Chains A and B, each alone.
Chain A
Amino acid sequence: MKLTFNWLMELVEVPDPAAFGPDELAERLTHAGLEVEAVKPLSDDAGALIVEVADVRPHPNADRLSVCEIHDAGEPRRIVCGAPNVRTGMKTAFLRVGAVLPSGQAIERRPIRGVPSDGMLCSEKELGFSDDHRGIMELPGDAPAGTSLQEYLGLNDWMLEVSITPNRGDCLSVLGLAREIAALTGGRLRVPAVPDHLRNHPPAIPVSVEILDPVLCPRYSARLIHGLRPAPSPPWLRFRLEACGIRSINHIVDVTNYVMLETGQPLHAFDAQSIASQRIVVRTAGEANTLTTLDGSDRALHPDDLLICDGDTPAALAGVMGGAGSEVTEETESVLLESAHFDPLTIRRTAKRMGMHTEASHRFERGVDPDGTRYAMDRAVALWEQLGEAQVVPGFADAYPGERKPAEITLRYASVKRALGVELPHDRIHGIIESLGIEIKRSSDHDLVVSPPSYRFDLTREADIVEELARVHGYDNIPATLPAVRMGIQGDALLRWVRKTRSLLTAEGLNEVVTLPFCSAAMNRTFPGLWGEDGKPVRIANPLRQETDEMRLSLLPGLIENLHYHSERRSETSMIFELNKVFSLGSEGGYTERMNVAGLIRGHRPQRGLRAESRAFVFADMKGIVEDLLEGLGHANCRWRADAPTPILHPGGFAAVSAGGVPVGYVGEISPRVREDLDLPTFFLFELDFGAIVNYARPDFKVRPIPRFPSVERDLAIVVAEDFPSQTVIDWVRELDRALIERVDVFDEYTGAPISEGRKSLAYKVFYRSTERTLTDHEVNTVHEDLTRRLCAAFDATLR
């Protein structure tokens, strides 16, 4: 909330006012949990003075200019003025020669159309007070001529912007903050007094008040004022309101706003003539009605909305906004002033439903002092009396069916030490409590019973009182300690895998990215990820952008967006990965989240050093990265298959991979169709189910001894059908489990002449070894010939 420093200091007397400037105040409030976000001087003083215009004559050479005479410190001065409103006897603003306007323009002594001007009469706009440039300032007749305008207008002041947390509704007022200052500094509160004649009024007025639901409206107070016609507010009121961010309208509305800022109690002024039935009825809307609020909108009402009615006719949306029909207008002559207390939740729901957020609803939602309605109402009436010829009807209405009993809270001294870790002396505790206006009902050696004032409705439990003690005592005065930690389960397996994954993939040259998980429906349909049947996307009811209103099923859309971003910037090579969550609406309606790891490579493999050749990425580059990753994550033997390709991948460049016996994802080249749809260059990608990989990881292994005898190698080239997977032979040899065959590696694949169409040549290296002796050529040849024969027979292969 915004308020001014001088206003606050009018309501509290601090021990050392000279040392208590706006910055000191801001520091104290911030340290007490009321964060001051800004401190700004209201206006730079240009040095304007209040003057009376003694004489006005037409300018001899210009129709629109006048030549005025004023008295400045007894000296007569002649001023040329172009304002249409200048007239003899008016009080206005004057700047001497040498002064500088906020715009930077200096006032010079110079002839205007031949007549020298000895200074300037100013408009509000010229002085930087407002945008009003209709004429020179019109000041009230009693404004003291010859004195500082800045001071007269109350502009030698500072605007303070305080961030009030939702629990401190009581501080949404100058009075509330003044109470805090008093408690923090040991100062004294100075509540503006209400004149005695108002206090002695009887509890009755010609308007009756009926509350149908005391829970929703615990209290409704009202007064009737005659002879109150809207007039412009005096400058001090207007400028103070405007400094607090509230537009000045007329003195009727302005006073209600002023008192709301001062006391925190929202007030509403009805045009009394519009309350024809002379009956105020507070009730819920019930049967759907509409109400035109004073901003001119027709509001459809919800049955639970609380209304202020003129008999049966809705007149205002309680606690949120008045109705257009009962608004104060130019014709208003008498006013019914409402000062009421409403249920926070009801006001909040109505305000939310209507999308309205007013100064009143903001306060009611956070809670207002139920015992403050009469004071606020009387304060407003007193101000009206002060400003003009208001005739207060002697009497007031005050229906208070929902009176609350003050809470009683037991505070144990031991609880203070237990929560804060520091022992506060008992008299310190008592002192803080009393400074906050909290009453100490009883006390013993180990506890005390306290009762908070009506405006501290946030204090209901022992912990709330302990917090107040900590806050006022000062967090700085509570020593920092280190707790004893009891040993628990240390180390986090998932974190280790995550870090390992990052280190393996970055070692391969891939950069880690973190993308937003929002995704379009179209992208989710194209990239359904690894969910299979469960791949129904989670939809966001209120997305930031309609086109991305789903949570991603796969990490690929984010990676692809990054690829787009970089190819638009003419970046030739992309190597990226992401390790993050994907989301789905499970078949049973529950929300499921998984960790995936996905990556893509595009362009050329960067080479090391000078003059190194770079080479376009191929499928095997992507597969190799994934092989390394899987081995690093404890899967030495993975199965690669080209069956059941996903539609996003190139049918000729696709592989599904299983690890630990379960399918964990795929690797491949993007399908040309998808690539063209997305307007992308070609790239290779992978996406793996990280949870499954980690779950089935077998990170432990045993070391084999280093062989004592050398191996003997024999090459073997066979010609097979083009779609024959090379791995088949390796698996077959392993199954065969022949003594002396240690292992088989594939080392070449070849198609083209002289191999006939539809077939290819595969070259393997077979390693023979015995653990007992060095093998002879003869031994090896026998086994190798046998192996070759069987292999050809098994796979319809011919030797090359």
Chain B
Amino acid sequence: MIEALEKLHEEAVERLERCASEPELEQIRIDYLGRKGGKLTALMRGLRELPAGERPRAGQELNRRRAELEGLLDARLKGLRESTETLADGGPRLDVTLPGNRPERGRVHPLSRVTDEIIDVFTGMGFEIARGPDVEDDYHNFEALNIPRDHPARDMQDTFFVSDDHVLRTHTSPVQIRVMEQRRPPLQIIAPGAVYRHDDDATHSPVFHQVEGFMVDHDITFGDLKGVLTHFLEQIFQDEVRVRFRPSFFPFTEPSAEVDIGCILCRDDKDSGGCRVCRGSGWLEILGSGMIDPNVFDFVGYDTEAFSGFAFGMGVERIAMLKYGMDDIRMFFQNDVRFLRQFPP
């Protein structure tokens, strides 16, 4: 009995697999499960002729096989129907390589994208955002940053004047002064914004953007400056970027450090002497930084014995140009749609 059942089942499964149409499938159902001539139904009927001892087990087995077969029949039917729908006779095939219907989206300006990335790295480290005016007074732009009138350090920044004592800010550093005038440490602040220099060529724009940052508390050290900026550069330039700190001079920091990253174009391949980005040096200036000069703390009335801090500033265009392999800063302000639309939505 059980043997006959197994044989029947195998036979049915084999027919099912070969079956290619709905009528054929229906015939299989009738052949095995049909109320009158079904082979499985016949076996069910034969149950009562079995010895009483074998009946329960054989009954169980029969029911199980029956349920299984019904399940297989249903599944096969579903499968058949699906393939018939897709391959409807004579219907057009879908060209899946045609473009999808995309809503027309505008693009965020690359300077906004990069500024946002910079902001996100610093806010992630616990920095807050501060802002200041573009039309800045001489005191905040120069004096309080330890750049007295008639000091050669003023030559470092070509200035637009709007009056005798107001300029278009030459850097975002005055925001440092404005924040420190209002608040006491601990402070960890970044200040993004436009800055102005009397300069206009392929590598200089009269307006560009900086992100200034500073941190003041008890016991902030030059080591902390290195740590924070190294972390920042690793985040912004993703893969293992080499960072070097090099002594420099800014009137409002001491010690001051210029921060360079290993050239991301020639990757410091010494033989590529003529790399147009790093001019063969293998290094790119990316940030100015330093420990806030005690004179600056004097201007805002901080106790230089109690507090120390670092400050840094970076050019957003410079970072964006390196990230996107650009060599003309003016493209940012030309806003050619063929430029803007290269940035994904």
Contacts and interface: CB of A to CB of B under 8 A. Distances in A.
**A complexed with B:** yes
Contacts of A544: 198, 200, 206
Interface in A454-510: 461, 463-464, 466-467, 470-471, 475-476, 478-483, 485-492, 494-495, 499, 502-503, 505-510
B254 A464 contact: yes
A612 B153 CA distance: 61
B207 interface: yes
Given A512-B108, A512-B109, A609-B101, 19 more contacts: A166-B249, A471-B247, A475-B247, A478-B223, A478-B226, A481-B221, A488-B126, A509-B103, A509-B106, A511-B107, A511-B340, A512-B106, A512-B112, A516-B206, A538-B162, A540-B161, A574-B337, A591-B135, A609-B100
A60 interface: no
Interface residues of B, number: 84
A418 B219 contact: yes
B150 to A, nearest CB: 5
B294 A591 contact: no
Contact of A421 (B98, B100, B224): B224
A608 B247 contact: no
Given A166-B152, A565-B336, A31 B247 contact: yes
A365 interface: yes
B35 interface: no
Contacts of B215: 483
B198 A542 contact: yes
Interface in B84-131: 98-109, 111-112, 116, 119, 123, 125-126, 128-129, 131
A765 interface: no
Interface of B: 98-109, 111-112, 116, 119, 123, 125-126, 128-129, 131, 133-135, 150-153, 155-156, 160-163, 166, 168, 186-188, 194, 198, 200, 205-207, 215, 217, 219-224, 226-228, 230-231, 244-249, 251, 254-258, 291, 293-294, 308, 332-337, 340-341, 345
6 closest A-B pairs (Cβ-Cβ)?
A33-B247, A421-B221, A421-B223, A165-B249, A609-B101, A506-B106
Contact of A575 (B106, B161, B226, B345): B106
Interface string A530-561: 00000000111111100000010000000000
Interface in A662-679: none
B151 A166 contact: yes
B207 A562 contact: no
A583 interface: yes
A167 B247 CA distance: 12
Contact of B105 (A490, A509, A517, A609): A509
Contacts of B133: 591, 593
Contacts of B227: 480-483
Interface in A400-441: 418-422
Contacts of B220: 483
Contacts of B99: 609-610
Contacts of A541: 160-163
Interface of A: 30-33, 35, 165-168, 344-345, 348-349, 352, 365-366, 418-422, 461, 463-464, 466-467, 470-471, 475-476, 478-483, 485-492, 494-495, 499, 502-503, 505-518, 538-544, 551, 562, 565-566, 571, 574-577, 581, 583, 591, 593, 605-610, 612
Contact of B222 (A420, A503, A516, A608): A420
5 contacts: A509-B106, A514-B333, A566-B336, A605-B104, A608-B102
Contacts of A574: 337
Contact of A165 (B108, B231, B248, B341): B248
Contact of B150 (A348, A464, A488, A511): A348
Contact of A511 (B106, B207, B254, B255): B106
A512 B59 CA distance: 76
Main secondary structure of the interface of B (DSSP, over half): mixed
A517 B336 CA distance: 17
A488 B186 contact: yes
Q: Which of B98, B226, B332 has the most A CB atoms < 10 Å from its CB?
A: B226
Contacts of B333: 514-516
B188 A488 contact: yes
Contacts of B104: 509, 575, 605-608
A571 B337 contact: yes
A593 B135 contact: yes
B221 A512 contact: no
A471 B150 contact: no
A490 B119 CA distance: 12
B106 A505 contact: yes
B160 A489 contact: no
Contact of A33 (B119, B155, B248, B341): B248
A466 B126 CA distance: 29
A514 B111 contact: yes
Contacts of B151: 166
Nearest to B257: A475
A543 B129 CA distance: 31
A35 B246 contact: yes
B123 A490 contact: yes
B335 A506 contact: no
